[in-house]
Chains A and B, each alone.
Chain A
Amino acid sequence: MKTASGTNRVRLNWSFLSPLLLPFLALVTALLVGALVIWVTSGNLLTVFDAYVGLVRGALFKERGLSESFIAAVPYVFLSLAVAVGFKAGLFNIGVEGQFYIGAISAVWMGQLLPGLPAIIHLPLTLLAGAAGGAVWAAIPGYLKARTGAHEVITTIMLNYVSFRFTELMVSGPLKDPVSTAVQTAPVAHAAEVWLFYDIPARLQDPLNALAVALCAAFIGFVVARALRRRRERKARNAPMVLTVGRANTRRAPTVFGRHSSLSAALITGILTFIFLPLLTRLWWPFTDRYDRLHIGVLFAVAAAIGVWWLLWKTTIGFELRTVGANANAARYAGMNITRNIVLAMAISGGLAGIAGTIEVLGVSICRCLPLFFSSGYGFDSIAISLLANNNPFGILGVSFLFGAMRNGADLMELSSGVSKYIISLIQALILLFVSAPPIIRWLFRIRSERKLIDVSVTGGWGGKA
């Protein structure tokens, strides 16, 4: 770059933070540009201050502000994970918004289909329905891409519009609540709802619900125990050769026992949870505010991030998806089925987006139903989140909270400064711009570029087959 040449000024050594540096600077720059826009449009520098203070207060410090920020972050997590899975497989799924809607409508349908089912069955079933809806919806452009080369960016965005109309059609037609005067679907069954934290002690009184929680706990116990065992094994293996050879037998013994140890850890965790958690929550529970809408979707989101990370970086499925994304020719050469992987990646992506829609309906929507005007607007933001987090699932958790907090704080900001809350969309769009074009930030902050290999190659052209 021309600008850097010749100047001999002292440079800070940023290298130890380099993976975080660009996203951070992108964020700061976007906020600065946002401040500039507010200043220019309001003609008052103080408004900038008012606005940003209002934003932070609204996001974190107002009553239930933190809870609401978490609630807003949940769909972001799922949708950004959806975008990230697509990116890793070389697909740019900008139709997550549509898949979100289809997931929501599928979930509403399933949520009111079988009244009387216990939550242990109905809630997973409803989540599954939402995921399936989104997955099928996203698999269509995936299949078209793999088979005909129709570029997913256009097909998914076209399907967005179709899904909006389709949802409208369903809500005002076949699924319309005959009782309500508003145009909305009937509410889902109580058993299909995503639990509020406030509700948990009450929910756990039902032994079946307690069983469901115990099963989850047992699973977590199993995973943790196994991870610990693996770590031990690896340490043992890395120990000097002589040692291992001499004590080969004694070393293998705990490994065999170890398999049982993770199972028993699971069993113990499960039983303990089943017996004691309902009692404990009755005795003491931190979520006592009955207007606090924080729901267990937050936990689902964390689980989803871990799941996606495991899938992408620890399994053969992920290995294939990432290979297809990085170099489809090499993937084919290595014997991978491109069509299957593209469809699979889109389906996983759409499934995650569908779950986001499902949780919004089952846990956040006030009527626990799908109203006609079910505004979301999460779709495009999640592209920004995914790029800002560099498609890293754990990064996505953090950035999603940030975006959720901004979205949540925007109301108070508008109230206290008179700046339209849509400035947030602008700031988020700017973040996306700066993240997607690092040279801008590098140029602004005079950072030398490092040589970087392109990790994912989203098809640039139309990928047309003659």
Chain B
Amino acid sequence: MSQSASTAATTRLSSVRQLKGRWWVTALFSLFLAVAAWMLLNLIIGGQCQGECVVGTLAQTLRVATPIAFAAFCGVLCERSGVVDIGIEGKMLMAAMVAYAVNLFAFQALKGSMGEQAAGDLSRWLAVILGALSAVILAALHAVVSIEFKTNQIITGTVVNILALGLTGFLYRQFLAENLPAGPGTFPIFNVPVLSQIPVIGPIFFQQKPLTYMMLISALLIHYVLFYTPWGLRTRAVGEHPRAADTLGIGVYRIRYVNVLAGGLIAGLAGVWFTIEGVDVFNPMMTNGLGFIGLAAMIFGKWNPFGALIGALIFGLGTSVTSTVSIFRPDIPSQIPQMLPYLLTIIVLTGVVGRAVPPAADGEPYVK
């Protein structure tokens, strides 16, 4: 149950309670799922994937899980404070486009004054920051409309998605579709000193690009904030029983605003991943529903950051395994594996794999 999980860090005294339905149950389940997926994979491709191919697939799992995990973290932050955010997809798209454009044009502007190498680095980080900020703007819209004006948050989230679709579609066709200068490309792989040399573990966890590391760090950070700090306690209280929080003088709106904006920042990182870490192009379809898959990962993870991370990794595993399959078995129509993540999302939502209770006030505007 999410409640017992949410108070995971409460106290070591009530440890008996914590053992029930705790994270390691989920972890074991995931491990089982991974092994099963693995056997299925080998069955389909006739055991051709070994050694380096295995490590490569797992490294790719972590890579493609990054945007899903970011999206899920955004969901965790928002929904723990009682705001449903269905507009993650839109924020990602927006951030992806802005980051792409910034990367490109900042590089053009900077390349003269400094070296190409330095200009590339600088423009990429600039792209990360501005891309994430553009998502924060959309998050602010969502926050104002759903917190202040108390509209239905599901509809507002959809509006954010459609608005982002319209805005990026227009700007892309107007400015980014053709005659583009060469950009600095995506982040290079950053090898963590020493750790990246460990066999198997190294290539999977420590030979990744920066945003992937940031994703892992933010999982830790969000867990700490939610369960070990006054802010987190207040956030959870606001998400469960805003009136109770209000009677204690806690600013419900303030808590929600900050969480939604912080969520927007993180959703922005998810979007930035596509164009600054994933591939060096932008197209208006590129987020491909990953924001929604992130929400499914969040639900799977019972509104906990580590749970959400595991959920994201499962989706990542599905994606990377199917792409490995398609390498070895080109005769299978590509559409079939492409459908799988979406079907998996639906299955997760139906609660076949253990349903959790969302925060009690999730999605309900607070009226003073």
Q: Which residue numbers of A lie inside 8 Å of B, CB to CB?
A: 37, 41, 92, 94, 141, 144, 148-151, 153-155, 157-162, 165-166, 168-169, 172-173, 380, 383-384, 387, 419-423, 425-430, 432-433, 436-440, 457-462, 464-466
Complex: A466 Cα to B355 Cα, angstroms: 7
Q: Chain B: which residue is nearest A434 at the CB level?
A: B159
- The residue from A150, A160, A161, A439 contacting B351, defined by CB atoms under 8 A apart: A150
- Nearest-CB residue, chain A, relative to B333: A169
Q: Across the interface, do A429 and B345 meet the contact criterion of CB distance under 8 Å? A: no
Chain A CB count within 10 A is highest, among B141, B162, B295, B333, for B162
Residues A158 and B292 in contact, CB atoms below 8 Å apart? yes
Which one of B4-12, B186-194, B209-217, B358-366 is at the A interface? B358-366
A contact face: mostly helix, strand, loop, or mixed: helix
Sample of 15 further A-B pairs with CB below 8 A, known A426-B167, A457-B152? A144-B346, A154-B86, A154-B345, A158-B293, A384-B162, A426-B166, A428-B166, A430-B163, A433-B159, A436-B156, A460-B362, A461-B364, A462-B299, A464-B351, A465-B355
A293 CA to B85 CA, complexed, in Å: 42
Q: Which residues of B contact A172 (CB under 8 A)?
A: 333
Contacts of A157 in B (CB 8 A): 289, 292
B296 to chain A: closest residue by CB: A154
Q: How far is it, in angstroms, between the C-alpha of A208 and the C-alpha of B304 when the chains are bound?
A: 65
- The chain B residue with its CB closest to the CB of A462 is B358
**B: which residues have CB within 8 A of A?**
84, 86, 141, 145, 148-149, 151-156, 158-159, 161-163, 165-167, 169-175, 288-289, 292-293, 295-296, 299, 333, 335-336, 338-339, 342-343, 345-346, 349-351, 355-358, 362-365
Docked Cα-Cα span, A158 to B315, in Å, equals: 14
Closest approach, in angstroms, between the C-beta of B322 and any C-beta of chain A?
12
Distance in angstroms between the alpha carbons of A432 and B167 in the assembled complex: 13
**Interfacial chain B residues near A160, Cβ < 8 Å:** 289
B174 and A41 contact, CB distance less than 8 A: yes
Known A-B contacts A153-B86, A380-B165; A144 and B145 likewise in contact (beta carbons under 8 Å): no
SS class of chain B's interface: helix, strand, loop or mixed?
A: helix
**A460 close to B162 (CB less than 8 A):** no
Chain A nearest CB: distance from B116 CB in Å?
30
A420, B364: Cβ atoms under 8 Å?
Answer: no
B363 adjacent to A161 (CB under 8 Å): no
Cβ-defined contact, B351 with A148, below 8 A: yes
**Residues on B with beta carbons closer than 8 Å to the beta carbon of A438:** 149
Q: Across the interface, do A166 and B351 meet the contact criterion of CB distance under 8 Å?
A: no
Q: Are A437 and B151 in contact (CB under 8 A)?
A: yes
* Inter-chain contacts of B165 with A (CB < 8 A): 380, 425, 429
CB-based contact A144/B163 at 8 Å? no
A residues in contact with B163, CB < 8 Å: 426, 429-430, 432-433
Give the residue among A150, A380, A466 with the most B Cβ atoms within 10 A. A150
Residue in A closest to B344 when the chains form the complex, CB atoms: A158
5 closest A-B pairs by CB? A460-B363, A461-B363, A429-B166, A150-B349, A426-B166
From the candidates B151, B154, B335, B349, name the one contacting A459 in the complex (CB within 8 A): B154
Say whether, besides A161-B289, A430-B163, A460-B363, A153 and B351 are in contact (CB < 8 Å).
no
Which residues from A are CB-within-8-Å of B154? 92, 151, 153, 458-460
Ordered by A's residue number, 5 sampled pairs between the chains whose C-beta atoms are within 8 Å are A157-B292, A158-B346, A169-B335, A425-B166, A429-B167
Known contacts A37-B170, A161-B339, A462-B299; is A383 also within 8 Å of B158 by CB?
A: yes
A155 to B346 Cα, complex, angstroms: 6
The chain B residue sitting closest to A94, CB to CB, is B158
Docked Cα-Cα span, A380 to B362, in Å, equals 25
Contacting residues, chain A, for B161 (C-beta < 8 A): 380
Q: Give complex CA distance A428, B169 in Å.
A: 12
